[in-house]
Chains A and B, each alone.
Chain A
Amino acid sequence: MSGQIYRMTKNQHEAPGAGQRRDGSDLLGANTEIGRKLKQYYDELVSDDVPERFAQLLSQLEETAAQQGGRAAAEEKD
């Protein structure tokens, strides 16, 4: 198999939105292997399911704030 030249038709693997990024497109754009892998790596992380605990945490914070707000308003009236 040595000497066999792997050649493929010129296929432009352009990710959607390629070239629209403001910066880094020159060095890390969709035309570079590193740029593509970086996006693939990151997009996979972004699309991970978000654990329920975060929404619960924010609801708790909101509730606490509402209670404190109500208390502060009541104190102001006194």
Chain B
Amino acid sequence: MSVSTGFKDDLLGAIPSLRAFAVSLSQNADKADDLVQETLVKAWDKQTSFQPGTNLKAWLFTILRNEFYSQMRKRGREVQDSDGIMTGRLAIHPSQHGLLDLEDFRAALELLPEDQREAIILIGASGFSYEEAAEICDCAVGTIKSRVSRARARLQEILKISGESEFGPDAIATQVMG
């Protein structure tokens, strides 16, 4: 029983991250909370299959992600493939002072295909390693790497940022004005 209580506390602690990941995936707050709820119920039912000492957050993200894709399939929605979106016609122009607005960024993120969006979120925001992200997404590490790099390139394209990292911090400093 005390094992369950510890598990419950761990689940409680993971909820903020799960919600952030769910919103990132579904781009919809209500759907995201439904996803989190499903994830918690599933995780609770499967708790004996969780190996203590392994990464609970990664385990939960895997469940949530599977739930997301299975709900999408149920709704009959085709999973977007990486080449299915034309970003060229939808460019977002940064506000005049050159600073990238968070709203602009959010809109740009929404234009990414799901597989790229989840990859860049897992690596760039959730703090997972490429190996962990590959396990969560059930694909090869190389696939995650290429999705991240395509996501980044596409975001730069949409947001009209030139290849900043190639020029190092000095070039960036000139962009970060304000």
Contact = CB atoms under 8 A, between A and B. Distances in A.
Given A23-B123, A47-B16, A54-B37, A10 B173 contact: yes
B31 interface: no
Contacts of A34: 124, 152, 155-156, 159, 161, 164
Interface in B1-49: 1, 4-5, 8, 11-12, 15-17, 19-20, 23-24, 33, 36-37, 40-41, 44
Give the size category of B's interface with A.
Answer: 35 or more
Interface centre among B19, B98, B170, B177, by most chain A C-beta atoms within 10 angstroms, is: B19
Q: Is the interface of A mostly helix, strand, loop or mixed?
A: helix
Contacts of A53: 33, 37
A38 B109 CA distance: 9
B59 interface: no
Given A28-B124, A34-B156, A38-B124, A50 B148 contact: no
Interface of B: 1, 4-5, 8, 11-12, 15-17, 19-20, 23-24, 33, 36-37, 40-41, 44, 98, 100, 102, 105-106, 109, 120-121, 123-130, 148-149, 152, 155-156, 159, 161, 164-165, 168-170, 172-177
